[in-house]
Amino acid sequence: MSDGKCQSDVIEPLCAKKFKKDDQNENGVNESQLQLRDFILSKILNNNTNRKIVCALGNFKDKSGVALVILEKNAFKEEELNEKGYFSEDSELRTFFQNDIYGNYVCFPNSSINGVKTTIIYPATEKHIAKYSQQEVHIILETPQLYQKYTLSHLAKEQFNLQWVYNILEGKSEQDRVVYDNKCEKEGFVLLPDLKWDGLTKETLYLLAIVRQREIKSLRDLNEGHLPLLKRVRDEGKKAILDKYNVPGSQLRIYLHYQPSFYHLHIHFTYLKHEAPGIYAEKSHLLDAVIDNIEMMNDYYQKATLPFTIREMDTLFNVYETNGYIKRIKENIELIDK
């Protein structure tokens, strides 16, 4: 957008456009060559029975570096609950037991509706391994002083590489997945399905709005100068989702994470019926509440004490533990035993 305007009439919806995917990712990996049959398992990092998701650590044959393979059972799609889907002649029932009117079975439906959502991270870093490993979690009440003294300096050294974010914003990657694109550098954003969503099942709808301003890292940086951007993301994001997925704004949960998984401001849009990870009070901040807080006090998020969860394998945990703000579970158990 050459004239720098930010009006809605110059916003470009990309719902119907298709772009050729790059053969290689930013690490030079030809993703089409990665096959699960070549994956050699070394360790199960996490097996979450509630979310029906498992993360495996290993490597691919004849390739250097380690990889993560994340497998997740898909949610049921209502349009597949018919005679062509689960109730078709191809579905097979195997009996566990029958007792009076009750029967317990295993269903083997048509393979076309029996896929498993699969995410591959390769090559994976130690940070990725820590992120996806099952571990103990703690809450930190982060004052502005703690943010400046410990958290901020940690972010400068330890945050994830953001090249994949810039690839999306610059139109180099994932353009066939983009739902909406406002190209204004000051108030613009890109809206696309989150990696945790298959992009198809309405019941698990989950989109991410990634803002174009690169200097905004997180909730801590927001002030009244960002209100036009936040309101635009909220209002235009709602409209784009209504137009494409027929989900009204009143059925959307729109929120920010603190701390976020990556430090470039992004906003989550999920279906209210979907209990997405990270929607709970210790991590999630509703966008409308964020806007209201800033309207009441310009520097609210520079002055507020903000809670966040931290896991024992995170390097930031070591910083807060070393300085006496948190203790490992093992130490707490030892104190109880005494």
Tokens 């635009």: give the residue: 232
Cα–Cα separations (whole angstroms), residue 332 to 71, 142, 219, 337: 34, 21, 31, 9
Annotated binding-site ranges for substrate: 164, 174, 194, 196, 257-268
Q: How many Cβ atoms from other residues are within 10 Å of residue 133's Cβ? A: 17
Interatomic CA distance for residues 223 and 63, integer angstroms: 46
Annotated binding-site ranges: 164, 174, 194, 196, 257-268
- Catalytic positions, please? 266
* Closest residue by Cα to residue 13 from 231, 182, 241: 182
* Closest residue by Cα to residue 227 from 296, 302, 306, 295: 295
Tokens 């566990």: give the residue: 96
